[in-house]
Structure 1
Amino acid sequence: MPVVAWVTVIIGGLIILAAAVGLLRVVLHLVAVHRTLTQVVGGVRVIAEQTSTVPTVLPSVNSTLMPVHDFCESI
């Protein structure tokens, strides 16, 4: 094979290697974004669980505070 062919093969290999490294970096960044979004979604779910109990507990709190309400009405 002539020298020009070898140079072409080497340059082509370097280009392919650079593209592969670039794609690997993109994949690693996407994995990091996926982990971050998973943590954010987990945090949002925790907040949703903590705030969703307010409407279900409210009638119980109201019934517990009824004696206080009655006492205040009597004054």
Structure 2
Amino acid sequence: MIGDIYEFSDLQRMCRPKAKGRLPRLATVEDWARAQGIAFRYDKDGGIWTTRDAINAALGLRAANDDGAKPYGAGDI
């Protein structure tokens, strides 16, 4: 994990955390992420990555500062 970015290796462990032997292949991790409703993107190495916010959104969680209010505009200050 780099900051709030989950890399392919992180997602492999989330997908099958107690797997014995090899980690799950890309297709398995993609299917798992889709089934969980986790938005993801492809990296330059052919793996996938996502963010903490995308995982939280899939879980139905909101960010602590997400109260539905619109951000301030330049004219509001």
Same fold, TM exceeding 0.5? no
- TM-score range relative to shorter protein: under 0.3
Relative CO higher for 1 or 2, CA cutoff 8 Å, sep ≥ 6? 2
Q: Which has the higher helix share?
A: 1
Higher strand share: 2
Pair member with larger Rg = 1
